[in-house]
Amino acid sequence: MQLKIMGLILAGGKGTRLSPLTRERAKPAVPFGGKYRIVDFVLSNFINSGIYSIYVLIQFRSQSLLQHLRDGWQFGGLLQEQFIIPVPAQMRSPGETWYSGTADAVFQNANLIEQSKPDLVVLFGADHIYRMDIRQMVEFHSKKNAGVTIAVIPVDKKYAKEFGVIEVDKDGRIIGFVEKREDAPTMPGDPTKVLASMGNYIFSSELLLKMVYEDVKNPESSHDFGKDILPALIGKVEMFAYDFQTNRIAGDPPEGMPYWRDVGTLDAYYEASMDVRAIDPPLNLYNRQWPLRTSGYSDPPAKFAFDEEQRRGQAIDSMVSGGCIISGGIVKRSVVGRWVRVHSGALVEDSIIFDNVDIGRRAKIRRAIIEKNARIPEGAVIGYDLEEDAKHYHVTETGIVIVEGHRSPVPLGSI
């Protein structure tokens, strides 16, 4: 029997720890990998897994995310059950509030589930960099006859306080769940690791509805899946952990381990970006059987204007997006967004450059994130003297310099 599946994506997080990148946009709308946004990863996972009925629950600073969903993710029209629809808070909670937590976000949209009566709700976060064939998790959920299945991955014990941590019995049944606690239980046989929830759940629709209706009546609840709903289900329903490490993507080498990163901090975001741009990357964007989808931009190809004499005008070990012109400058080990100009004599190394940035002649940039629309003046030096940089820019713990951009874009192509 073909199961009827509804996709719900929780895309309302503030992403405070990614500030200033989240100053103007919700975390799922933060650019990643040059031409993509973080939300493209989960949306591509859904579409590539054949889940086509998708609601995206949005909240904070959603304009940029809405625009991205409109530009890149509109489809359907012919078939009623094929859509991606962004839904802001419906003010259906007792106090007519914004989504007060992830469970409240589902409660406020319970009518969508009631109307279409899916068998399963695939409820995923929107904040992670990974590829996952969700069909394999659905199959696991069905085989186990589970009420809830949570995708899990081992992470280093020192990160326990950032995740929901799960305990399982020998059959993979969940027997413990604690949310973000330093003293979370480690994995049997490996005291250095905890089994982290990836924030991706499959629920039988009936159970999900029952839980969010009960939760809204509970004055003690913070209306959150990790803090309230999941711990309360232990021992009451069949709840299983799906081991993400068993997930395989068609077209990938069989020995490759699945990659998953919570890009919760600027340093984690930087590391994941560098992972993806690597020559032999742990997450391969070039597997045509698992396309990472995004806006269908009509940018011209990136262009490299090479100066033979100076040996300049090139990008090495880098990803460079459409509309860019690297004109007499050098880009190394970097991720470059759309419509970027790198002028003569400029050197960009180990950096992430967002869209529409102009890097002036002879500027030198190292280990930096340069935000959208920024103008780097001629001869500027960034990333070489962190004490000096800290006077002008945000510098992270590991010494990544964040150069803020401008709100209003300089017209595309005018530089």
Interface residues with ligand ADQ (CB under 6 A)?
10-13, 27-28, 57, 59, 99, 101-102, 105, 125-127, 163-164, 179, 196-199, 224-226, 262
Smallest separation, CB 42 to ligand ADQ (Å):
8
Cα–Cα distance, 316 to 53 (Å, whole number)? 41
Q: Which is nearer to ligand ADQ, 142 or 265 (CB)?
A: 265
Smallest separation, CB 108 to ligand ADQ (Å):
9
The secondary structure of 389-411 as a DSSP string is HHHHSEE-TT--EEE---SSPPP
Smallest separation, CB 132 to ligand ADQ (Å):
13
Q: Which is nearer to ligand ADQ, 68 or 341 (CB)?
A: 68
Q: Count other C-beta atoms under 10 Å from residue 114's C-beta.
A: 10
87: helix, coil or strand?
Answer: strand
Smallest separation, CB 376 to ligand ADQ (Å):
31
Q: Which is nearer to ligand ADQ, 13 or 405 (CB)?
A: 13
Per the structure block, which two tokens stand in for 44? 């591509």
18: CB partners within 8 A, 6+ apart: 27, 30, 263, 264, 265, 266, 269
Contact indicator for 240, 173 with CB cutoff of 8 Å: yes
Q: Count other C-beta atoms under 10 Å from residue 197's C-beta.
A: 22
Separation in Å, CA 107 to CA 239, 246, 395: 21, 32, 39
Per the structure block, which two tokens stand in for 142? 């069905």
Q: Which is nearer to ligand ADQ, 151 or 326 (CB)?
A: 151
Smallest separation, CB 75 to ligand ADQ (Å):
22
Contact indicator for 366, 381 with CB cutoff of 8 Å: no
Smallest separation, CB 104 to ligand ADQ (Å):
7
Separation in Å, CA 263 to CA 16, 38, 349, 413: 12, 9, 21, 31
Contact indicator for 323, 336 with CB cutoff of 8 Å: no
Smallest separation, CB 186 to ligand ADQ (Å):
15
Q: Which is nearer to ligand ADQ, 262 or 355 (CB)?
A: 262
Torsion of CA 135, 28, 155, 46, to 10 degrees: 0
Per the structure block, which two tokens stand in for 406? 């401008």
Q: Which is nearer to ligand ADQ, 125 or 345 (CB)?
A: 125
Q: Which is nearer to ligand ADQ, 12 or 31 (CB)?
A: 12
Torsion of CA 389, 391, 396, 400, to 10 degrees: -10
Smallest separation, CB 99 to ligand ADQ (Å):
4
Smallest separation, CB 15 to ligand ADQ (Å):
7
Q: Which is nearer to ligand ADQ, 28 or 323 (CB)?
A: 28
Smallest separation, CB 123 to ligand ADQ (Å):
9
Burial (0-12, 13-18, 19+ Cβ within 10 Å), 136: middle
Closest CA to 43 of 14, 2, 3, 85: 85
- Measured at the alpha carbon of residue 104, what is the angle toward residues 201 and 55, in degrees to the nearest 5? 60
Residue 66 φ/ψ, nearest 5 degrees: -60, -45
Q: Which is nearer to ligand ADQ, 12 or 313 (CB)?
A: 12
Q: Which is nearer to ligand ADQ, 127 or 358 (CB)?
A: 127
Q: Which is nearer to ligand ADQ, 52 or 98 (CB)?
A: 98
Smallest separation, CB 138 to ligand ADQ (Å):
20
SS3 content of the chain, % helix, strand, coil (to 5): 25, 30, 50
